Structure 1
Amino acid sequence: MNVYLIISGVLSAIAAILHLGCIFFGAPWYRFFGAGEEMALMAEQGSNYPTFITLGIFSVLSIWSLYAFSAAGLIRKLPLTRLALIVITSIYLIRGLAGFTLMSMPMGRSPEFWLWSSIICLTFGIFHGVGLKKQWAKF
């Protein structure tokens, strides 16, 4: 059993659930998690835009969680698991690194948002990467 991929799946699932929380609890959650004042205001005004964007992120994170669980052997094997994990790991690592460069030009978000979200994404990417390396020969 690949504990790194299990942890990776759990981390992505938690992130997905937190995104659902933003939909259900609205503007205060969007603000707390750093989605930006514009998203929070749209949520307060009843716009569907924040919901659709957040549901999209929830869906992606949920699928990523399933792929990690699949590679770990917790659920049935999903198609293109190795390729999916390479892509997922790369996205987490690239997003994590890119966020540090955005701290100086936050684009509606605080530098703290970019710092913490980058640390989180790098952590997720590292767990995925270690899990992928340990599982490589078993694909």
Structure 2
Amino acid sequence: MFFVFAALADFILFVLHVAAIFIGEPAYLFLRAGKVMAEADARGETWPAILTGAISTVFLAWAVISFWAGTNKPFARWARYLMIGIGIVFLLRGGVIVLQLGGMAQFSDGEAPQMRDFIFSVSALFIGLLHLAAVFKDKPR
């Protein structure tokens, strides 16, 4: 069941990033992509959408890997190894909370962390642990 939840978390991140492409500047600012990216989107430049599309594609691939890893299909064992890496990436992203809490993290715009930044970090920690729990605690079906 953890495999499905991990895949669902990855898929939700995919959907949120695709939505950010369509929402544009306000979404980039809210998600802390930076003022440079938000202003470029507001000017009609395509690179913010391309970059966000690439990131969302990674999340979609991770969702497929996480779902596949929970099966007994060919290469599922290799998908489980990939899930360990995915979990570590999420834990590293979430680990930024240590810098945020210590007041040592600033964003590209020189802004101090806000409440949503702590929520993003805790969410990343949770999703990383979810991926690792799937691999080490759950049985493939």
How many residues are paired up?
Answer: 134
Q: Distance in 2 between matches of 1:110 and 1:9?
A: 32
The one of 111, 114, 117 aligned to 2:113? 111
C-alpha contact (below 8 Å) 1:71/1:135 kept by paired residues: no
Which residue in 2 is equivalent to 1:12?
10
Q: Which runs of 5+ in 1 are unaligned?
A: none
TM-score (ref. length: structure 2): 0.83
> Cα–Cα, structure 1 residues 110 and 50, in superposed 2: closer, same or farther, change >3 Å?
farther
Which residue in 1 is equivalent to 2:51?
53
Aligned-pair CA distance for 1:83:
2.0
Moved segments of 4+, more than 6 Å: none
Q: Distance in 1 between matches of 2:74 and 2:5?
A: 17
Q: Which amino acid aligns with 1:114?
A: D
Q: Which amino acid aligns with 1:14?
A: I
The one of 125, 128, 133 aligned to 1:130? 133
Q: Distance in 1 between matches of 2:63 and 2:26?
A: 26
C-alpha contact (below 8 Å) 1:19/1:57 kept by paired residues: yes
Q: Distance in 2 between matches of 1:39 and 1:60?
A: 19
51-60 vs 99-108, which moves further: 99-108
> Cα–Cα, structure 1 residues 70 and 45, in superposed 2: closer, same or farther, change >3 Å?
same
Q: Percent identity?
A: 25
Which residue in 1 is equivalent to 2:84?
86
Q: Which runs of 5+ in 2 are unaligned?
A: none
Residues 49-106 of structure 1: CA deviation (Å, up to 9, x unaligned): 2112101110111111111111122x95456212211110111111111343155331
Judging by fraction of residues, say which structure has more helix: 1
C-alpha contact (below 8 Å) 1:106/1:114 kept by paired residues: no
Aligned-pair CA distance for 1:36:
2.0
Q: Distance in 1 between matches of 2:73 and 2:40?
A: 40
TM-score (ref. length: structure 1): 0.84
100-109 vs 40-49, which moves further: 100-109
